[in-house]
Amino acid sequence: MNWKNVAYLIRVDRKSGRLIRGKKLTKYRENRFLAYWAYWVALAVGLAIGLAVGVVSNYILAADPSLSALFQQGTVSLFLSLPTLVLIYSLVFTMLQQIQRSGVRFSSQVPYWLPITWQEHTLASILASLLGFPLISIVFISSVIVVFSIFIGQVLAAVMTLLAIYAAAFMASATTEVFRVFQVRFIGAVYKSTGRAAVWVRFIGSLLFFLVFYIGYFYVTSGAGTITFIETVASAQNAVWFVPFVWLGMTLYYLTGEFLLQGIAFLAFSLLFIVGLFFLATSLNSRFGLYEPPAITVSRGAYAPRTGFLGRIGFSTVEAALIRKDFKAFTRRRELMTIFIAPIVIVLVPLMQSMGVTTGPAPPPFAGYLSALTTLMPASIMAMSLGNLIIGEEGQAMWRIYSSPISAGSLVKSKYFFIIFFSVLVLVVTGIFGFVFYHPSLRAILVSSFEAFFLVFALGAISLSNGIRGADFTEAPRPRMIRPSWSMINLIACLLVGIAILIPFFPYMLSAFVPSLLGFFVELYQAVIVSAIIAFALTVIFYRVALKNAKELLAKAEI
């Protein structure tokens, strides 16, 4: 193993981030210290927090020494669960990174023509996958626990935990590497066997995978789910001692409990497992690292052009062609498919959480709100997200739009229709879902459906206008689609527009808490009408802004 090669490859991977950070790339200079600023900040913040927690806990324990034993026990218990927690979080984030990069073949191409072994490449790939958020969070956690341990006299346990969490992160990244290579080969075989249905097999398969992945992701990273999850890991770790992924935690458990023999045994098992994972990843890489999934054949036989449905309902051939092209993009490009997942997860996660905490049907006022939320939120988020990226998703192929006889009007009309179509589709599905699960009143269904329509139209228009202004056609190391500043601007703008449209309903929302307010300001139907007028005005204004932005984009036409 040539360690220098590993270091060079990791450095190249880190530098690929320059392409998406909006750096001025001519006469580029990089400060070596500042290049790692995020890690330095994580370290400094971790040290400061560790210090603060240590001082506070010392103060509390000085005031009430009887808490000391409990405190020590709780801290050690947290230390024991950290390797498994870090492993799970690292696994989630390294896989998320793989998903984001799935559309970019050239950035992840193995430089097989260079004198680099598969072992070196695999090791570099595993370590480079940890760069960014996973490593930043590990640096933060480890600095907190080391400083904190000094105050509570658990330095040895903290140092062992620190080593274990770095090993756990490596284990997670190696697992992702194995999974990545395996799934390329596996998916290739599936495509081959499914023939022309491969496009749909891939679409549905990817949706199901993302669905499970994101539900897990949101569950372990949001609200009460996180605490439940940490508690579960801490308590269940010993029960599943036979699962190799918890062996690092088990090592700590036995070593801190002074069961030296068992500790050493689990340490040996852990190291063997890590080495085994690495060699498995290396062997899969050397076998399938350059494997290209077979071509997907979508159509066979004679080509017969048709006048499609879109043409019959009044779209010009240019507009219909753009809509059809986008439909294919969103059902075939894996990095775009994730957009369909957010609305589903938004519906499912609160439902899962509410099912865990409530017994029996929800009380009537809450049912109405939950149903309204289920109808309004996913469709609105869909309109916002689609508008955000529907121009930037063209990527480097944007030259095709620039050089073709496509007017700003046709571009905006087709993109806007696409946004509205999918957002309304989501609205219908989630609306039915809300109705079935929360049994709201007919009035609540009608009002929330109308409002969702208004929101979709207005948010679609404003997001499209912002998506055009902030479009980012960078594709490597991952498709960015919109500049982060414009994504933030769009989020704030959508929030304000949403509030503006829903403002006539605020008295009714308040009336749930202050019943005397009911009917004080306006009747419900009046609120809907006022809301519709606001939404219509905002839609028209922002559609025109989108047109103006599209004209500028096509005139400037520089990617």
Partner 1 sequence: MNYAYAVELKSVVKRYNEILAVDHVDLTINQGEIFGLLGPNGSGKSTTLKMLLGLVRPDSGSISVLGMDVQKDPVALKRLMGYVPESSRLYEFLTGIEYLDFIADVYGIQNAEKKNRINDYLKALQLEGREGDMINSYSEGMKQKIALISAFLHKPKLLILDEPLNALDPRSARIVKDFLHELKTQGVTTILSTHVLEIAQALCDRIGIMYHGKLLALGNMNELRQMSKLPDSGLEDIFLKLTGTGDIRAVVEELVK
The nearest distance, CB 200 to partner 1, in angstroms, is: 13
Among 226, 358, 404, 526, binds partner 1 (CB under 8 A): 404
Q: Which of 427, 336, 346 is nearest to 386 (CA)?
A: 336
Choices 295-303, 349-357, 460-468, 504-512 (CB under 8 A): range interacting with partner 1: 295-303
The nearest distance, CB 345 to partner 1, in angstroms, is: 24
Strand partners, 472: 481
The answer to whether residue 193 forms part of the interface with partner 1 (CB under 8 A) is: no
CA angle at residue 440 from 435 to 445, to 5 degrees? 70
Choices 28-36, 55-63, 302-310, 431-439 (CB under 8 A): range interacting with partner 1: 302-310
The nearest distance, CB 294 to partner 1, in angstroms, is: 7
The answer to whether residue 299 forms part of the interface with partner 1 (CB under 8 A) is: yes
Q: Which CB sits closer to partner 1, 109 or 232?
A: 109
Among 298, 492, 503, 540, binds partner 1 (CB under 8 A): 298
Q: Are 191 and 293 in contact (CB under 8 A)?
A: yes
The answer to whether residue 395 forms part of the interface with partner 1 (CB under 8 A) is: yes
Choices 88-96, 114-122, 398-406, 522-530 (CB under 8 A): range interacting with partner 1: 398-406
The answer to whether residue 195 forms part of the interface with partner 1 (CB under 8 A) is: no
CA angle at residue 462 from 460 to 465, to 5 degrees? 105
The nearest distance, CB 113 to partner 1, in angstroms, is: 16
The answer to whether residue 185 forms part of the interface with partner 1 (CB under 8 A) is: no
Angle between helices 68-101 and 37-63 (to 10 degrees): 160
Residue 63 in tokens? 């005031």
The answer to whether residue 555 forms part of the interface with partner 1 (CB under 8 A) is: yes
Segment 92 to 151, residues that bind partner 1, using CB under 8 A? 105
- Number of residues counted as binding partner 1 (CB under 8 A): 43
Segment 11 to 40, residues that bind partner 1, using CB under 8 A? 26
Grouping H, G, I as helix, E, B as strand and the rest as coil, residue 221 is helix
Q: Which of 348, 526, 375 is nearest to 445 (CA)?
A: 375
Task: Give the count of alpha carbons within 13 A of 494, CB side only.
Answer: 29
The nearest distance, CB 334 to partner 1, in angstroms, is: 10
The nearest distance, CB 336 to partner 1, in angstroms, is: 9
The answer to whether residue 492 forms part of the interface with partner 1 (CB under 8 A) is: no
Among 4, 405, 513, 515, binds partner 1 (CB under 8 A): 405
Among 406, 455, 527, 547, binds partner 1 (CB under 8 A): 406
Choices 157-165, 263-271, 315-323, 370-378 (CB under 8 A): range interacting with partner 1: 315-323
The answer to whether residue 329 forms part of the interface with partner 1 (CB under 8 A) is: yes
The answer to whether residue 294 forms part of the interface with partner 1 (CB under 8 A) is: yes
Alpha-carbon distance of 299 to 318, in angstroms, equals: 22
Spatial CB neighbours of 8, under 8 Å, sequence gap ≥ 6: none
Among 232, 297, 441, 526, binds partner 1 (CB under 8 A): 297
Long-range CB contact pairs, 484-491, < 8 A, 24+: 487/388, 490/384, 490/387, 490/388, 490/462, 490/463, 490/466, 491/384
Choices 11-19, 297-305, 462-470, 541-549 (CB under 8 A): range interacting with partner 1: 297-305
Q: Are 98 and 180 in contact (CB under 8 A)?
A: yes
The answer to whether residue 440 forms part of the interface with partner 1 (CB under 8 A) is: no
Query: Backbone phi, then psi, for 315, in 5-degree steps?
Result: -80, 145
The answer to whether residue 242 forms part of the interface with partner 1 (CB under 8 A) is: no
Residue 171 in tokens? 């284990």
Long-range CB contact pairs, 54-62, < 8 A, 24+: 54/147, 54/148, 54/150, 54/151, 54/152, 55/151, 57/148, 57/151, 57/152, 58/151
The answer to whether residue 397 forms part of the interface with partner 1 (CB under 8 A) is: yes
Q: Are 459 and 387 in contact (CB under 8 A)?
A: yes
In this structure, the dihedral spanned by the alpha carbons of residues 316, 322, 323 and 327, taken in order and rounded to 10 degrees, is 160
Q: Which of 332, 318, 327, 348 is nearest to 422 (CA)?
A: 327
Q: Which CB sits closer to partner 1, 359 or 403?
A: 403
Segment 331 to 390, residues that bind partner 1, using CB under 8 A? 332-333
The footprint of partner 1 (CB under 8 A) covers 26, 105, 292, 294-301, 303-307, 317-318, 320-322, 324-325, 328-329, 332-333, 395-397, 399-400, 402-407, 554-558
